[in-house]
Structure 1
Amino acid sequence: MSTNNALTPGKWIIDPAHSTLGFVARHLMVSKVRGRFTDFSGTLIVNEDGSAHAEAEIRVDSVTTDNDQRDAHLRTADFFHAEQFPTATFKSTGFRVVGDDFVVDGDFTIRGVTKPVSLTVEFLGVNPGMGAGPVAGFEAKTVISRRDFDITIDMPLPDGGTVIGDKITLDLEVEVGLQG
C-alpha cells in the first residue's frame, strides 16, 4: 500500500530508530557544523476532533557532531550544561495550516530557559507499516537564537566575528507509530 494523508486519532510515538533530531551551526563565520541527538522520545496525540498536541524530550548529553572533543565541550556549561540541565523539551501550544505545510507552535526549553518557537512542518503521509501498525512521517525546521536560551559563549575571532554563530537551524525528520 502507498502512503495517504489520513492521520488516525490516537497516540503516536516517535520511533527513534527512524528519526533524526539534528541541528546546524555556523563555524568561523564561513562553514557549518552539523550535529544530532541520539537519545530522545516524544508523542503526538491526535484527537477525534482533529486537534493535536505534541511533546518531545531530548537528552542533551546524547549530542554528537562526530567529533569527541567538540561533543564534550557542547556538554559543558559553555553550551548545554548537561549536568545541571540534562533534558531539552518541546511542548506544542498550537497547530496551523500555512499553504501546503503546517506550523507547530510550542514552548522549547533548553538550559531551563523556555521560549516560544514555530516549526514549519511537512507531513509526509501515513503508511500501514510492517505489521506493528501505521506509521507517519514528518520533516520540520526552525531557526533559533542560541543566546535566547542562555548559550552566550561567543569566542571572538581576532579579525571580527565569532567561532560559533548565534543562529542555529533545527532540522527534524520524525517517524511516529500509532499505539494500539
Structure 2
Amino acid sequence: MAQWTVDASHSSIDFQIKHMMVTKVKGTFDSFNANVVAANLENLTDASISFAIDAASINTKNTERDNHLKSADFFDVENYPSIRFQSTHITQSGDAYMITGDLTIKDVTKPVTFEVEYNGKGLNPWGVEVYGFEGETKINREDFGLTWNAALETGGVLVGKDVKISVAMEVNPA
C-alpha cells in the first residue's frame, strides 16, 4: 500500500444549498487536507480515504453569511473546528466508485456515500504521476445538527435542508 496526498491547490470541496426556496447558493472550503492509502489508484476498492476540512475556511463570497455559518447557529467553529470523513467501504463499477464512509460535522457522525469518477492520470511538469477524481453526495444538513432556519413571509424557509457536496481531487505520491 502506498500513501498519497491531495494537492489542495488543484483540488476543491464545494457545496450548494437552496436559498429562499428559489435559487442555489454555492460555497467552498478554502482549507482542507486529505490522504489516500491504496495499492493502486486505478482501483480504489482497497483504499482508505480520509479528509479533514477547516470549518472556519467556509467561503460563500459573502462575509456576513460566512460569519453566520461559522457561528453556533451552524458549524460552531470555536467548538468544532473541523469536518471529517473516513471511508469505510468502496465498490467499483467501470470508472465509477461508490465511496461510503463516516462524515462528522460538529458532534454528529453519519454514513454518507460519494459517487466518485476516476478522471485518469498524467505526468505533471516535474515528472510526477498525478491522478484525478471527482465525486458528489447529498446530505440533509439537519441530520448533522445544522438546524437553524427562518420562515419566509411568503411561505417556506430561508435555507434548504439538502446540501450537495462536490469534491474534485488531484492526488500525488506522499
- Please indicate the TM-score interval, normalised by the length of the shorter structure: over 0.9
In the alignment, is the contact (CA less than 8 A) between 2:95 and 2:118 conserved in 1?
A: no
Deviation at 1:41, TM superposition (A): 0.2
Q: Deviations over 1:89-137 (max 9, x none)?
A: 0000011113541110000000111000000000001112221621111
Aligned to 2:122: 127
Percentage of matched positions with identical amino acids: 36
In the alignment, is the contact (CA less than 8 A) between 2:116 and 2:136 conserved in 1?
A: yes
Deviation at 1:176, TM superposition (A): 1.0
Aligned to 2:47: 52
Report matched runs for 1:1-180 at 5 Å. Answer: 9-47=1-39, 51-131=46-126, 133-179=128-174
**For residues 112 and 132 of structure 1, do their structure 2 counterparts lie closer, same or farther at Cα, with a shift above 3 Å needed?**
farther
Helix, strand or coil at the partner of 1:61: helix
Tell me which moved more, 130-139 or 115-124.
130-139
Consecutive unaligned residues in structure 1, runs of 5 or more: 1-8
Deviation at 1:51, TM superposition (A): 1.0
- Number of aligned residues: 171
- TM-score scaled by length of structure 2: 0.94
User: Cα RMSD over matched residues?
Assistant: 1.5
